[in-house]
Amino acid sequence: MFHSGFTSTCFRLRTLSLRFFNVASFNISRILPQLPSLEDLHLEIRAMDRLSLPSQTIRKLKLIIIGADDPKFDSLAFSLPSLESLHLETRGPFSFSAHCPIHGEFPLLKKTVIILDEVHAPDAAAVMRLLHSISHVQELSLHVKEEKYPIPSPILLEPGKPVPNFPMLKHLDVSLCFHDRNFDAIIMVLRNCPALESLKLVHKIPKFTDWAQGRKRKDWRSELPRNADGNRRYAYFTNLHLGKNRKEFMKFLAKKCTFMLRAKNLDV
Task: Report the percentage of the chain scoring pLDDT > 90.
Answer: 32
Question: DSSP for 62-127?
Answer: EEEEE--SS-EESEEEEE-TT--EEEEEEESS-EE-TT--EEEE-TT--EEEEEEEEE-GGGHHHH
Closest Cα to residue 190, out of 200, 181, 179? 200
Lowest mean pLDDT among 51-60, 196-205, 212-221, 225-234: 212-221
Ordered by start, the domain boundaries in the chain are: 6-267
User: Taking residues 205-230, what's their average pLDDT?
Assistant: 72
- Per residue in 229-257, pLDDT (tens digit) is 889 999 999 999 888 888 888 888 887 66
- Per residue in 123-181, pLDDT (tens digit) is 788 888 889 989 999 999 999 988 766 677 788 888 788 889 999 999 999 999 998 88
For residue 264, pLDDT over 80 is answered with no
Question: DSSP for 196-214?
Answer: --EEEEEE-PPPP-TTS-T
Is the pTM here over 0.95, yes or no?
no
